[in-house]
């Protein structure tokens, strides 16, 4: 009988301890979550950093550096960049990229044609018919169903956030009118 009472008392104490532990607040959860969120916000890179991290804009980054624009695109902004992928640059006629890399002024004009001042998110882009680029010319924006095109280039990914703006991925290099 004593053993049964002792066993029951021990079992009740163990259950009580488990219930008390389960009901206690975990004060460390909120600071950890806040710290992770804060660190992530502080570590958001510039347009250049985000593009470099993506791994699909190597040609764009080489071109921006050759044109002397990498520092500008890493600056305060905000900027909206319609960024052609490496595949988009590879689709240009043979020798085009190499020739542009040797002509920084022409390269700069083309690259600035891909940049719109301010942060224009996809929800805003679809309501526009054109946008004035940093280069000074307007790009034509068209929407057909769910597909968005910038001067005939398909927008394949949108709203890639950076600390100084946003990137929208396009599948072709767009060229200003001559």
Per-residue pLDDT tens digits for 128-162: 999 999 999 999 999 998 899 999 999 999 999 99
pTM score, two decimals? 0.75
Predicted pLDDT at 43:
64
Residue 33 predicted with pLDDT over 80: no
Beta-bridge partner residues of 168: 82
Whether the pLDDT of residue 14 is over 70: the answer is no
Distances (CA, A) of 131 to 48, 55, 117, 125, 154: 22, 27, 9, 9, 16
24, 43, 163 from 34: Cα distances, Å: 20, 14, 19
φ/ψ of 172, rounded to 5, equals -150, 155
Looking at 31-35, 53-57, 121-125, 148-152, which range is the least confident one? 31-35
Q: How are beta strands 165-170 and 79-84 bridged, if at all?
A: parallel
For position 173, what pLDDT does the model report?
Answer: 97
* Greater pLDDT, 155 or 12: 155
Across the chain, mean pLDDT equals 81
Spatial distance between the Cα atoms of 90 and 95, rounded to a whole number of angstroms: 10
Give the angle subtended at the CA of 146 by the CAs of 126 and 134, to the nearest 5°.
Answer: 35
Mean pLDDT, residues 36-45? 50
Q: Which two structure tokens, joined as six digits, stand for 71?
A: 């520092």
How many residues are recorded in the chain?
A: 178
Could you report the per-residue pLDDT of 59-84, keeping only the tens digit for each? 999 999 999 999 999 999 999 999 99
What pLDDT, on the 0 to 100 scale, is given for residue 146?
A: 84
Using DSSP, state whether 93 is helix, strand or coil.
coil
CB within 8 A of 21, min separation 6: which ones? none
pLDDT at 18: 35
Report whether pLDDT(23) > 90: no
Question: Closest by alpha carbon to 115, among 148, 81, 141?
Answer: 81
Residue 177's pLDDT is 86
* Contact (CB, 8 A) for 117 and 164: no
Q: Among candidates 119, 132, 127, 128, which has minimal Cα distance to 159?
A: 119
Q: Cα(first)–Cα(last) distance of the chain, in Å?
A: 101
């Amino acid at each position: 009988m004593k053993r049964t009472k002792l066993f029951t008392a021990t079992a009740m104490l163990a259950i009580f301890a488990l219930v008390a532990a389960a009901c206690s607040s975990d004060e460390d959860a909120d600071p950890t979550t806040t710290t992770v969120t804060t660190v992530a916000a502080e570590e958001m890179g510039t347009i250049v950093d985000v593009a470099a991290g993506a791994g699909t804009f190597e040609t764009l980054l080489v071109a921006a550096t050759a044109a002397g624009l990498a520092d500008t695109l890493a600056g305060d902004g905000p900027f909206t960049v319609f960024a052609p992928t490496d595949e988009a640059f590879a689709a240009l006629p043979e020798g085009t990229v190499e020739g542009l890399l040797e002509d920084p002024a022409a390269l700069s004009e083309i690259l600035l044609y891909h940049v719109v001042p301010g942060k224009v998110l996809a929800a805003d882009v679809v309501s526009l018919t054109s946008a004035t680029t940093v280069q000074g010319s307007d790009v034509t924006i068209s929407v057909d169903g769910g597909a968005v095109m910038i001067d005939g280039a398909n927008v394949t990914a949108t709203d890639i956030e950076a600390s100084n703006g946003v990137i929208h991925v396009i599948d072709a290099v767009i060229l200003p009118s001559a």
